């Protein structure tokens, strides 16, 4: 009985991981050649705006303390609902990504201490 429950749980977890979506969440298929909708353009602008906010906050902290900070220490940064932001720092450098969890093509932006913002999408 325990084995059956474990096997069922493993299948659900594996399905969620392999699909790239949290359990119960699905998106329309990605068509990378389709023109962007107004909503997609707006969400991409939101991601880029958040990236600029992170770079600006990191530059401010560096100027004041000569160290970079994790996301929870940054002020003036707003990550909109439906986006996932991750900031990694060792204090002397940082990198971050912002992923749109609602975009079928999984649009993302990323940057580092040089301040250049890059756009990305996963390999298909």
Q: In what order do the strands lie in the sheet with 94-100?
A: 83-89, 94-100, 108-112, 118-120
Are 68 and 92 spatial neighbours (Cβ–Cβ below 8 Å)? yes
Residue 1 to residues 7, 9, 69: CA-CA distances in angstroms? 10, 12, 48
DSSP assignment, residue 81?
A: T
**pLDDT above 60 for 5:** no
**pLDDT above 90 for 34:** yes
Lowest-pLDDT choice from 7-16, 34-43, 61-70, 84-93: 7-16
Helices (H), the chain: 2-19, 38-65
Q: What is the pTM (predicted TM-score) of this model? A: 0.77
For 51, counting Cβ atoms within 10 Å of its Cβ (0-12 exposed, 13-18 middle, 19+ buried), the class is buried
- What is the overall mean pLDDT for the chain? 85
CB-based contacts of 33, cutoff 8 Å, min separation 6 = none
- Number of residues that this document lists for the chain: 124
pLDDT-above-70 percentage for the chain: 78
Residue with the bigger pLDDT between 73 and 33: it is 73
Are 109 and 97 spatial neighbours (Cβ–Cβ below 8 Å)? yes
DSSP assignment, residue 92?
A: S
Whose tokens are 């979506």? That residue is 21
Residue with the bigger pLDDT between 38 and 6: it is 38
In this prediction, residue 15 carries a pLDDT of 42
Q: 47-102: per-residue pLDDT in tens?
A: 999 999 999 999 999 999 999 999 999 999 999 999 999 999 999 999 999 999 99
């Amino acid at each position: 009985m325990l084995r059956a429950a474990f096997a069922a749980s493993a299948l659900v977890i594996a399905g969620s991981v392999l699909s790239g979506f949290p359990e119960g969440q699905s998106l329309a298929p990605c068509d990378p050649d389709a023109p962007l909708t107004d909503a997609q353009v707006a969400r991409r602008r939101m991601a880029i705006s958040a990236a600029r906010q992170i770079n600006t906050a990191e530059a401010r902290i560096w100027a004041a303390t000569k160290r970079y900070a994790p996301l929870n220490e940054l002020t003036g940064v707003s990550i909109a609902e439906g986006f996932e932001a991750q900031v990694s720092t060792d204090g002397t450098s940082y990198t971050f990504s912002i992923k749109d969890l609602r975009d079928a093509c999984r649009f993302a932006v990323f940057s580092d201490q040089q301040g250049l913002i890059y756009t990305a999408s996963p390999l298909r």
